[in-house]
């Protein structure tokens, strides 16, 4: 939206943009209405109750229950509307649909590194297809950054050591600003880039133009093999570590009675700091992989582990397998799922 050549509002280029704007306009309208009301009443009362003679004494004002209830209830209702509406938009942003295509971003001083599921990598530039829900899973390898695409109305802080997800769906082909929206050091203002939204055919053509030898999952599988993860995490009973098959998204029983959700952050912690969360029934023998794996490799490895399918229904009760795993000497733990999916 441009007024007199001055861009007042960024493009609306995602499915969420209109909804964010509607909420913004609602809050703006409420603010304008009450500002005008208060300013107007102030002026009105200045005039109405001005002092008319030197010795005039004001009349005593008693409370008004109805008035007090009104000025508590009306703002409460308006605030609750804004809250519920805002929460709904926030959940839509932060909970991408299950079938969304996964992209990954790693922020660092001072650049954004992206990876597509097909394996394509980009720096400070992100190509996305329009009309397809996308889940951006992001982290930082040093300090706090913030992924901000105004045209999509998407902004998400990224902190080192954790993963953050936002969902969006680009709706309009074009080239849009990408900013870092969190002061992150001397190069913060240069930590910008662009998001290129392409129609499905253009996107496929773009992808094919730079298609790497390996998909992201393939890269992850190679790292899985190179670090010999399978030597302890084979998907069979009696291995030293818990199986990773179908682990992602499940609740894991930990030592000491706690449970943890096996999400990206959990997998990451279990790789870098295995002692933090040890799976119940397994001794804490897994070594740390801190320093042996880069942030981007971690993302690939986790992408691979996430996609490991749950084992086809195994005959026999899962409890028997867990018992078998416990009986075997030494069972390592990435702090991952139980002995079975």
> Interface with ligand CUA by CB under 6 A: which residues?
107, 110, 145, 180, 182-184, 188, 191
Whose Cβ is closer to ligand CUA: residue 178's or residue 196's?
A: 178
Angstrom distance (rounded) from CA 61 to CA 77? 27
Q: How far is the CB of 42 from ligand CUA (least distance, A)?
A: 42
C-alpha count within 13 angstroms, C-beta hemisphere, residue 205: 6
150, 181 in Cβ contact below 8 A?
no
Nearest to 238, CA basis, from 320, 148, 308, 152: 320
Q: How far is the CB of 290 from ligand CUA (least distance, A)?
A: 23
137, 103 in Cβ contact below 8 A?
yes
Whose Cβ is closer to ligand CUA: residue 128's or residue 191's?
A: 191
Whose Cβ is closer to ligand CUA: residue 16's or residue 180's?
A: 180
Whose Cβ is closer to ligand CUA: residue 138's or residue 262's?
A: 138
List all residues 6 or more positions away from 94 whose beta carbon is below 8 Å from its beta carbon.
Answer: 156, 165, 166, 167
φ, ψ for residue 40, nearest 5 deg: -65, -45
Angstrom distance (rounded) from CA 124 to CA 129? 17
Residues linked to residue 187 through DSSP beta bridges, in sequence order: none
Whose Cβ is closer to ligand CUA: residue 10's or residue 160's?
A: 160
252, 338 in Cβ contact below 8 A?
yes
Q: How far is the CB of 295 from ligand CUA (least distance, A)?
A: 14
Q: How far is the CB of 190 from ligand CUA (least distance, A)?
A: 9
Q: How far is the CB of 104 from ligand CUA (least distance, A)?
A: 17
């Amino acid at each position: 939206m441009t007024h007199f050549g001055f861009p007042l509002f960024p493009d609306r280029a995602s499915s969420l943009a209109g909804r964010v704007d509607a909420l913004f306009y609602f809050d703006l309208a409420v603010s304008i209405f009450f500002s005008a009301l208060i300013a107007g009443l102030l002026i009105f009362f200045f005039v109405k109750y001005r002092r008319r003679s030197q010795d005039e004494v004001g009349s005593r004002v008693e409370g008004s229950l109805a008035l007090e209830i009104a000025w508590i209830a009306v703002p409460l209702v308006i605030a609750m509307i804004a809250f519920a509406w805002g929460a709904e938009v926030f959940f839509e942003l932060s909970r991408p649909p299950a079938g969304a295509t996964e992209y990954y971003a790693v922020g660092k001083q001072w650049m954004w590194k992206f990876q597509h599921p097909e394996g394509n990598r980009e720096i400070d530039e992100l190509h996305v297809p329009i009309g397809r829900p996308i889940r951006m899973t992001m982290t930082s390898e040093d300090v706090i950054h913030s992924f901000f695409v105004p045209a999509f109305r998407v902004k998400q802080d990224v902190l080192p050591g954790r993963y953050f997800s936002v969902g969006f769906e680009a709706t309009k082909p074009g080239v849009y600003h990408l900013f870092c929206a969190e002061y992150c050091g001397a190069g913060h203002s240069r930590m910008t880039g662009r998001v290129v939204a392409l129609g499905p055919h253009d996107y496929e053509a773009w992808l094919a133009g730079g298609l790497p030898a390996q998909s992201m999952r393939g890269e992850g599988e190679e790292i899985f093999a190179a670090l010999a993860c399978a030597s302890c995490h084979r998907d069979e009973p009696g291995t030293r570590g818990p199986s990773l098959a179908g682990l992602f998204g499940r609740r894991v029983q930990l030592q000491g009675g706690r449970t943890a959700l096996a999400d990206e952050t959990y997998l990451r912690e279990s790789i870098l700091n295995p002692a933090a969360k040890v799976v119940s029934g397994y001794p804490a023998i897994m070594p740390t992989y801190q320093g042996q794996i880069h942030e981007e490799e971690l993302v690939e490895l986790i992408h691979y582990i996430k996609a490991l399918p749950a084992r086809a229904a195994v005959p026999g009760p899962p409890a028997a397998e867990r018992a078998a795993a416990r009986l075997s000497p030494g069972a390592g733990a990435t702090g991952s799922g139980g002995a079975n999916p």
